[in-house]
A and B are shown apart, each in its own frame.
Chain A
Amino acid sequence: MTFTRPTFRHPDLLPNAAGFNRRDYEGLISTLCAGCGHDSISNAIIQACFELALPPHRIAKMSGIGCSSKTPAYFLGKSHGFNSVHGRMPSIATGANMANRDLVYLGVSGDGDTASIGMGQFIHAVRRNLHMLYIVMNNGCYGLTKGQYSATADKGSKSKKGPANALESIDLCELAIQLGAGFVGRSFSGDKQQLVPMIKAGLSHGGLAFIDVISPCVTFNNNPESTKSYHWVREHSEATNTFDFVPVRPSITTEYQEDVTETVTLHDNSVINLHKHPDGPDITDRRQAIDTLEDHKAQGMILTGVLYVNPESLDTHEILNTCERPLNSLGEVDLCPGSAALAEINAAHR
């Protein structure tokens, strides 16, 4: 095992449109288990941010506690990061976003962090449509405490420990759609081709973008009877659509060759080009999105892809009507009413 990242990069690798190299988006070397799905997601995040040419220092990485929440140390090393407490990332992200609406907020959480201890915070961040990308690295178990089932583990699924999970699972994507998230997707850590454009689209969405990434835990939950294993997901997943994401600044080439059947324009004028079956669900329709998820679940299939998009949703700042200047940039002149106003207030209290 190596403890330092090699510094050599292929000499032909070009910088992105903003002049940053891919390594500018990398972080420390991962301390997760070899083969962990989370590391693939970290790499997809690095690739997506590089391709979008986001200045690394204008991204804030937020996380809670758990294996997934450790990953912000392993990507975007030039960004500020905040590894908060268990299940509380959404409130920290809310405050951070309120303070400075000009940064990009990338929240990373796990299934325990989001679907159990942080459920309240998750659903309320969705409800207030906080402008952020919220990624759940979903492996159906608690890794750091040695493999207990989490609330997203499917009923009947078996982890390495043996006994089948007896409880109903929580589908975070369905919840997010119900609660008003404007962008909801599901992907698989093993499908970089789908995940990278999905992260790019999520980062470009104008409100809360939620992506549930099934990310097998190679140590505790990767046996064939587990519905969160590499094997199972590969055998039982179906993409609702394939798509590519065209940012405002067109810089990526599509890897899918089928004809574009639907186009969704996001708030910042970037575009999601969808390639799907003509009878496939309309991803801007909430009810169809939920129905399609349930239909696939009934067939024992995991539906991936962009599940729902509402480009028109208003984010928290618009709901609160806060000023366009970041609140953290305001000083006494803007904030302090001064002594004359105080004299009037005193007079009103006599």
Chain B
Amino acid sequence: MKQLEGVNDLVIRFANVNGSGSASANNLFAKAVFRMGVPVSPKNIFPSNIQGLPTWYEVRVNEHGYLGRRGDVDMVVAVNGQTLRQDYEGLASGGYFIFDSSKPLPETFQRDDVVVIGIPMTQLCNDTFENPRMRPLLKNIIYVGALAALLDMELQVLIDSLNKQFRKNQKLAAPNIQALELGYQYASEHYPGVCKLSIGRSDRVGDAIFMDGNAATALGALYGGATVVGWYPITPSTSVIEAFGNYAEKFRVEADTGRIKVAIVQAEDELAAIGIVIGACWNGARAFTATSGPGISLMAEFLGLAYFAEIPVVLIDVQRTGPSTGMPTRTQQSDLLACAYASHGDTKNVLLFPCDPKECFEMTAAAFDLAERLQTPVIVMSDLDLGMNDHQCPPLHWDAARRYDRGKVLDAAQLEALTTDWGRYLDIDGDGICYRTYPGTHPSKGAYFTRGTSRDEHSGYTEDSTSYVHNMERLLLKWETAKSLVPLPKSKIRDPQAKVGAIFYGTTTHSAEEVIDRLHLRGMAINSLRICAFPFQQEVMDFIAQHDLIYIIEQNRDGQMRSLLINEGNLLPEKLVAITSFDGLPVASRFLSRALDTALQERGLLPQPAVSGPGGVQ
């Protein structure tokens, strides 16, 4: 048997029972890797369940900083009896199978191509700890200790992490550290030098932070000045609101009164959630909501109102696997078309595509400026992988001199000084964006009637065809203006002569970049473009025009970005080829590598046969 070996390059999977307290132990492990200066990316693969069903935590460690999900499992910590066989069989050839040997492995487990490492976790735990309620939690810490020994990790980093975690409750730190050492000692004594994979201190993390996208999104809303939140609980967006609430408790309380400078209203459904946002934005506050696919469907009606009546809205869509209820705890990028054209009639909504927590922060804060400048809904297209998993990314940055762009709003003095006719929907600047007023501004000027019915430039109800068409065309002009305001795409030109390009966005970025880098090392240059926003700017269309063939890599079945590009850019469909991954798990680079190889080979663009990666099928 050839054992898998390597330093700072592995995938380890923890197979646990949901609700057994494994999350904090697994997180302790990932955080320790990060604190050793080694790039790390954990993916929580969890069920739609509170307690009892299987859950996995998959950690990729990669010295080079490739942090998309890789696919294949080099090492598994199998502590869930329900999935023991599945975890055993899913392990890559040459991999390491760590299990709780308090009970022997069934005799049918007879693979001869994996290293089996038994740690009597339950036994060790029961022999050492009295408190039966603590035992299941400490059992998890024992396997972390064992891993530290097997992978030659610095035990002190883990001890420091535990001390930090329990700094407010030192009584808990001691048994946790004891459990850690217990596992470490057992593995050191019984399996010295057995594992050829290791994690050693490095300097590849720099000043990076380790944060989940939803917390960063919440911070973006906090820094962006959101004061009203309407929301309805739905996985995987709920933690955006929870984090926002926690930060508001910390940063938005009036010192003198104890009152809070935010209104967070848990609504009766997603319809009301976005209605609250629209009402608040209409009335001059910055407001947002967060939801996922099913909520988007419900919000479609109101998005049309906000588009047509021209009311700012910030909507965070943490996408999950659809259609319908789909797989509520799995990821996907499948709400693109639903969001881009949400609502009946001719509508288009501004979309932003963050790829890491830093961008969640920046794009959410920017969404408030954009929504108010453009007086239209802006949807931040996050996803479950980005929102709920911890990601390593550069630190968040806020320019102290930055001021909110509140858009075209007339105050009382400006209304008083007006010498020309004011109309709520009168485009005097020629950019499609008109001036609005907040209710209550001026005793006699600037009041208007907001409606979802057609209206003239002075907001009077009209069924006049000319007025209607004029208004709809102005909204298109505003759409053009939006192109100059939304974030530009980011391109990587690996070879100016290259004929093949790739386009991706959001969380697909990490795996796609890795695969294209590796192809480049093999002599195949593909230029890439990461789309950051919809509407598409000229830069996107130019990139497509400069190549003969474009692969659109995304995480949905139907190639929704491809459809959107073809539709908006009036492009020939033959030129755009979709490479998709839509199984609900974050796209794996090894899967993507095979898919791209196959696609290139089919067109004779990749000369040598693909070098298949180690491991089995994804």
Contact = CB atoms under 8 A, between A and B. Distances in A.
Given A84-B275, A96-B282, A328-B438, A342 B227 contact: no
Interface in B261-308: 261-265, 267-269, 271-285, 287, 301-302, 305
Contacts of A320: 260, 263-265
Interface string A95-131: 1111110110000000000000000110110001000
Contacts of A96: 279-280, 282-283, 439
A315 to B, nearest CB: 12
B449 A83 contact: yes
A106 B458 CA distance: 23
Interface in A305-349: 316-317, 320-325, 327-328, 330-332, 334-339, 341-343, 345-346, 349
A327 B227 contact: yes
A100 B440 contact: yes
A56 B445 CA distance: 11
A322 B305 contact: no
A186 interface: no
Contacts of B223: 336-337, 342
Interface in A55-107: 55-58, 60, 62, 72-73, 77-85, 88, 90-100, 102-103
B95 to A, nearest CB: 31
B426 to A, nearest CB: 17
Interface string B561-586: 00000000000000000000000000
B494 interface: no
B419 interface: no
B225 interface: yes
> B251, B283, B461: which has the most chain A beta carbons within 10 Å?
B283
B414 to A, nearest CB: 15
Interface in B384-437: 395-400, 403-404, 437
Contact of A73 (B227, B261, B281, B461): B461
A57 B440 CA distance: 5
Contacts of B439: 57, 60, 79-80, 96, 100, 103
A327 B263 contact: yes
B279 A321 contact: no
Contacts of B251: 337, 341
Interface in B195-251: 207-211, 219, 222-223, 225-228, 230, 251
Given A57-B442, A320-B263, A88 B275 contact: yes
Contacts of B437: 80
Contact of B268 (A62, A100, A121, A330): A121
A332 B272 contact: no
B297 to A, nearest CB: 15
Nearest to B452: A85
A318 to B, nearest CB: 10
B263 A98 contact: yes
B254 A323 contact: yes
- For the complex of A and B, the 8 pairs showing the least CB-CB separation, nearest first, are A95-B279, A91-B275, A99-B285, A80-B439, A95-B280, A328-B284, A99-B283, A95-B276
Interface of A: 55-58, 60, 62, 72-73, 77-85, 88, 90-100, 102-103, 120-121, 123-124, 128, 316-317, 320-325, 327-328, 330-332, 334-339, 341-343, 345-346, 349-350
Given A95-B230, A331-B225, 13 more contacts: A57-B447, A80-B438, A80-B447, A84-B452, A91-B274, A91-B275, A92-B282, A94-B276, A95-B285, A99-B285, A320-B260, A335-B222, A335-B252
14 contacts: A60-B283, A78-B444, A80-B448, A88-B272, A92-B276, A98-B263, A98-B280, A99-B280, A100-B283, A328-B280, A331-B404, A342-B397, A345-B219, A350-B208
